[in-house]
Chain A
């Protein structure tokens, strides 16, 4: 069975601090996808990144970066120089890679509060 664990329920940081959100996953599949979504107070989930299990390269997009390590089954998300607009609930998710369209298994989310 697939499982995603986000051990940090809530994190609070002061603006401009860096923050890392942890994600640990379990799967028996050899091919899978990992995702991060952002859910701002408005409630709508916003796609941030998708990572194929064969691609362990870290990725950077502006202030966001992701560290994928198969050896520890982790897919951590770092926000550099956090801003108040980063305040949201962040979800890590996992899906099988069967034809690319399978339901996502979500973690319970980490609520990030960035204080000005």
Chain B
């Protein structure tokens, strides 16, 4: 079956512009996560959606970052007024509601802010 997909795969933007990153989770997966991976680093949690519950936004680094999810499907991560330190790979993952935390990751979006 289809895995987690993300678009675009690469995005180059100028400092100060807004960007939107998209994630399509695996069908039937109710939990969706966004992580950020800076060059040579591990993954940092950003935000987590579980069904219709309020999202866990505790990992968002600033109010320039926001995310939405439509029901139990597509999610969009928006970064406003991008800064050079936002350059990273943004990874999306999904998991089943009853799963034991096993998350399946998408290929990521590489964001470069110039």
- A→B interface (CB under 8 Å): 4, 33, 35, 37, 42-45, 47, 50, 52, 91, 93, 95, 97, 99-109
A106 close to B43 (CB less than 8 A): yes
A106–B35 alpha-carbon span in the complex (Å): 10
Number of interface residues of B (CB under 8 A): 30
B59 to chain A, nearest CB (A): 7
A108 close to B41 (CB less than 8 A): yes
B102 close to A47 (CB less than 8 A): yes
Knowing A33-B100, A45-B91, A97-B101, say if A104 contacts B45 (CB, 8 Å).
yes
Contacts of A108 in B (CB 8 A): 41-42
**Which among B48, B89, B91, B99 is the interface contact of A100 at CB below 8 angstroms?**
B99
A37–B31 alpha-carbon span in the complex (Å): 19
22 A-B contacts (beta carbon < 8 Å): A35-B101, A35-B102, A42-B107, A44-B105, A45-B93, A45-B105, A47-B104, A50-B100, A50-B101, A93-B43, A97-B100, A101-B95, A101-B96, A101-B97, A102-B48, A102-B101, A103-B33, A104-B35, A106-B42, A106-B43, A106-B44, A107-B42
A90–B30 alpha-carbon span in the complex (Å): 26
**Which among B50, B97, B103 is the interface contact of A47 at CB below 8 angstroms?**
B103
What 1/0 flags go to B65-107 for Cβ under 8 Å of A? Answer: 0000000000000000000000001010101111111111111
- B→A interface (CB under 8 Å): 30-31, 33, 35, 41-45, 48, 50, 56, 59, 89, 91, 93, 95-108
| Residue in B30, B42, B104, B105 whose Cβ sees the most chain A Cβ within 10 Å | B42
A37–B35 alpha-carbon span in the complex (Å): 14
A104–B95 alpha-carbon span in the complex (Å): 12
A72–B52 alpha-carbon span in the complex (Å): 39
B75 to chain A, nearest CB (A): 14
Contacts of B59 in A (CB 8 A): 103
A106 to chain B, nearest CB (A): 4
A29–B48 alpha-carbon span in the complex (Å): 20
Closest chain B residue to A6, Cβ basis: B42
